[in-house]
Amino acid sequence: MKKKCVPFIIGPLFIVATYLIFLSPPEIFIELTYEDGLVEQVGAFAFLLAAILFFYGFIRSRIKENAWFRRWSWGYFFLGLLFFFAFGEEISWGQRIFGWATPELLEEVNVQQETNLHNLKWFEPGEGREGLEKFFTAKWLFAYFGFVYFVLIPLLYPASAKIKAICDQFRLPIPPLWIGLLFFSNIILSKGVEKFLLSRSGLTEYLAFHVKHSTVELMESNWALIVAVLAAAMMINQKKSPIIKKFQVKPFYLFSTRITDPFVSLPDEMLE
């Protein structure tokens, strides 16, 4: 039980520790969280690492005897594709590295005039957004994904035969709930720190802008680190035991570090 509680304790402590940068002078946390700064670079690398690990898990998941579609764990492939896309978006698909000009069509509709999709005016928060529009930014869309994959699916997989059948069809790895807790504690902490800093008297408009930008950048970087940790945990789990028992509801599943990988319950000789 003590070992199972470790990620539940260390994870939130690490998330809290990252926000300590806001105790530093403004010029320091602004520089750390600026475009292409250390925080953004760490987040981009974490997304790339997660993508590589999920693609590797997809390749390793091949089962010879299964029909073509079910030979591989497509869940790993789709997760790898998603996080590689996130990595590409973070570096504007190499534009910031190689310095090419933004295509004219994108330049007109991209808030930052960069080669990416998440900064398109339709996905960017702004004063003109009202009602439900505020909840359809790129940041919120990723939060919805986190809620579905890190919270809803782990809860519904053992409780719903239909959800279980869909997950099993794609051999989708099921994350432990502590990943979901980390994901959303990061959001809550980011918003809390932002509100606290904005409530301080004497805050200039310049600093208020950078407080909002910096807290969002750190939150996104932490999201990337969380999915990289999940990918690493899944690879460790996959290598430790190719024979993974089917999911069972346990009282302390909340603290479990085990990743359920449907259908991967075959001996080594059936895996390439």
Q: Is the pLDDT of residue 96 over 90?
A: no
* Look-up of token digits 């702004």: 126
Structure-model confidence comparison of residues 184 and 268, the more confident one: 184
Q: For the chain, how many helices (H) and strands (E)?
A: 11, 0
Taking only the tens place, the pLDDT of each residue in 185-229 is 999 999 999 999 999 878 889 999 899 999 999 999 999 999 999
Q: Is 137 left (phi over 0), alpha (psi -120 to 50) or beta?
A: beta
What value does the CA radius of gyration of the chain take, rounded to a whole number of Å?
20
CB-based contacts of 39, cutoff 8 Å, min separation 6: 32, 33, 217, 218, 221
Q: What mean pLDDT do residues 156-185 have?
A: 89
Instruction: Decide if 119 contacts 137 (C-beta within 8 A).
Output: no
d(CA 173, CA 184): 20
d(CA 265, CA 100): 48
> Which backbone phi and psi does 120 adopt, to 5 degrees?
-60, 150
Taking only the tens place, the pLDDT of each residue in 232-267 is 888 877 665 443 333 333 333 444 444 555 444 433
pTM for this model (two decimals): 0.81
